[in-house]
Chains A and B, each alone.
Chain A
């Protein structure tokens, strides 16, 4: 429909450079090779491959070493033991638990014998690696979402009160309501979610804003942390204190298939929802004004996405306690590597989060025995903190303006 430009106004001769409405040049979208075209982006693929390699290597170290050491070759063969991998009964036994496996398959007899190495790897060491993978994914995705919602690079999954709520309820359970400690994972996750709701309620005044949310998070965090520290004085047993510290710094010691089964369904839900919400996250990055003028119901979206992030954080708290820094660093690393598009950031987080977590857990499980010879494990949260601090120092030196996203 070119050529019919009304030549009325002599003053504005602008159409010459092709500035014309309806000039229908061919549609072109380089990054859109079909629905999943954006996935096959070199930087993202490289990040995913490197992370995967790290997970495999660190995982192999984890399954090889321990009280019963074996060579990497033995460990590898045990992981890939066809007696498990090709037997759906064994696989379901691990993934769903024995009871569910029997109802699903209808199998009532004894499961076939496994080799000694296979039993150790599959029963004890592999689940710990898998829990690390799941926790890493959850924390990274949760952090990425919170950083977009608060539009602050320094936000973490625990910025809106989740960790302090969980910490307080953990202490309450261990110190005051000892009888409920069997439900500790659930209670911790619940405590985190409730604290998040309190933060939201405090921040709400005709709607919220990133700054108000962060401030409300600080308020609730300060009060809850004080209460939590206060509760330590009422613990009369060193075992209770140690257990409390394990939970509040985050630990994977003693994790089992049970923990995999606890966290996995919620992880799947959170991951799917966060991928679905990535376009909303991208729009949030353009600022409240722009998002609103483009027709986003900003409060609803912000609350919904925060809810997804809290779900992910709660799932990881339930199995590993409060692991710090992972949710803060990983989205940062990923953004530096693949750019700010949240579709890619979320996918990148799904790989880099597990890499950091599995790697850090190697240090937590084996570090002490390598360094001091003592047969002791430290909470993985300590290792992630030791890695995280220097990384931020590096960022601080390198980047001019940190903070704003």
Chain B
């Protein structure tokens, strides 16, 4: 029996895995696993691996795959940023990692197990995804929205448990939207809405978190809020984060590893200093830019768009 030991995924049935705080997993259904309690109460780290191997991803309507045989590994317990120009396949890759798109070939392994072999709820307990555009009824309150994040942890007829309430509180705290909890989502600004949605996906209490452009369209203050949430996750928990970012400077500052995509291919990956370079910007983003190292990471000053040919 594995209790928040290294990788708690050896067998199909790890029944008996208990929460570090003692509360038993409420679902009687499949895949009961101690959802990794962050900030290691047990001391041992159990950050999850997320590996994609030779992934081929496409859409039924398009003849050519968007991603054609790429492999990517998210560093356990760290933040990996996906960057690239519009249409480079960042979001597609992220959806593929989250098992939202069925791969034409290749596989995604979560702690060594193919995500397709996992039951949808079991997967949602381990892997959370925040999509780019989320819609909700206007009259739902923030708190009720966050409670929806507990869906995979609840059985069909189960009411919310104390464990659910704790996870929701933690998520609301972490996302810093406690002052919004009784507000209706329809009355919030774009930035506040994003915080509420982040709280929802945090309440899911997963080991792996995939965020699709969480800062796009937000004002500076809310961009920083979102960045700080991700930093807190990195510093204080073992959550493995993969985030798609539009702003390459933001990516360099936030991420432990940056993966740059262009035309569905991974062009570079590694620590920010190694990836965010003038050559890469000209090659991948097709801009002439100046990159200066500062103590807050590289500073990117775009100068002009390149019109080669």
Contacts and interface: CB of A to CB of B under 8 A. Distances in A.
Contacts of A35: 159
Contact of B173 (A14, A25, A287, A292): A25
Contact of A22 (B38, B100, B136, B157): B38
Given A6-B236, A27-B162, A294-B204, A18 B173 contact: yes
A87 B182 CA distance: 51
Interface string B132-157: 00111111100111001101100011
B229 interface: yes
Given A206-B60, A340-B140, A27 B173 contact: no
B283 interface: no
Contact of B121 (A206, A286, A295): A295
A293 B128 contact: yes
A33 interface: no
A27 B137 contact: no
Nearest to A285: B137
Given A1-B39, A19-B176, A21-B236, A292 B140 contact: no
A15 interface: yes
**Max chain B Cβ within 10 angstroms of own Cβ: one of A20, A23, A285:** A20
A338 to B, nearest CB: 9
Contacts of B160: 29, 32
A182 B92 CA distance: 57
Contacts of B233: 21
B125 interface: yes
Nearest to A6: B235
A24 B176 contact: no
Contact of A20 (B139, B148, B165, B236): B236
B6 interface: no
Given A21-B38, A35-B159, A15 B232 contact: yes
Contacts of B173: 18-20, 23, 25
B131 A293 contact: yes
B139 A339 contact: yes
A24 B166 contact: yes
Interface string A104-138: 00000000000000000000000000000000000
Contacts of A20: 173-174, 232, 236
A372 interface: no
Nearest to B159: A35
B307 interface: no
A171 to B, nearest CB: 39
Contact of B229 (A6, A19, A293): A19
A289 interface: yes
Nearest to A340: B137
A19 B232 contact: yes
Contacts of A287: 134-136
Contact of B129 (A282, A293, A296): A293
A297 interface: yes
Chain B CB count within 10 A is highest, among A15, A285, A295, for A295
Contacts of B53: none
A289 B100 contact: yes
B235 A12 contact: yes
A292 B168 CA distance: 20
Contacts of B151: 279, 283, 294-296
- Name the interface size band of chain A: 35 or more
A174 B229 CA distance: 67
B228 A283 contact: no
Contacts of A339: 139-140
A322 B295 CA distance: 72
Interface string A276-288: 1001001101110
Interface string B155-185: 0110110100110111001101000001000
A181 interface: no
Most buried by B among A6, A18, A30, A289: A289
Given A25-B173, A293-B131, A14 B232 contact: yes
A17 interface: yes
Contacts of A276: 156-157
Interface string A361-405: 000000000000000000000000000000000000000000011
Interface string A296-329: 1100000000000000000000000000000000
A340 B236 contact: no
A339 B120 CA distance: 29
A17 B159 CA distance: 31
A193 B138 CA distance: 33
Contacts of B228: 12, 14, 19
A237 interface: no
Nearest to B163: A27
Contacts of A405: 137
A21 B124 contact: no
A22 B136 CA distance: 27
A179 B209 CA distance: 64
Contacts of B215: none
Contact of A295 (B120, B131, B143, B157): B120
The 10 closest A-B pairs by CB, nearest first: A295-B124, A27-B165, A340-B137, A295-B152, A295-B121, A293-B129, A14-B228, A12-B231, A294-B151, A339-B139
Interface of B: 37-39, 41, 60, 98, 100, 119-125, 128-131, 134-140, 143-145, 148-149, 151-152, 156-157, 159-160, 162, 165-166, 168-170, 173-174, 176, 182, 204, 228-229, 231-233, 235-237, 296
30 contacts: A4-B39, A11-B231, A11-B296, A17-B176, A19-B174, A19-B228, A19-B229, A19-B232, A21-B232, A21-B236, A22-B170, A23-B169, A24-B170, A27-B165, A28-B169, A29-B165, A285-B136, A285-B140, A286-B134, A286-B148, A287-B135, A289-B100, A289-B131, A293-B129, A293-B130, A294-B151, A294-B152, A295-B121, A296-B120, A296-B121
Given A289-B134, A290-B131, A341-B144, 16 more contacts: A4-B39, A8-B235, A19-B174, A21-B232, A22-B38, A23-B173, A24-B169, A28-B169, A30-B143, A276-B157, A282-B148, A283-B151, A285-B136, A285-B140, A286-B134, A297-B120
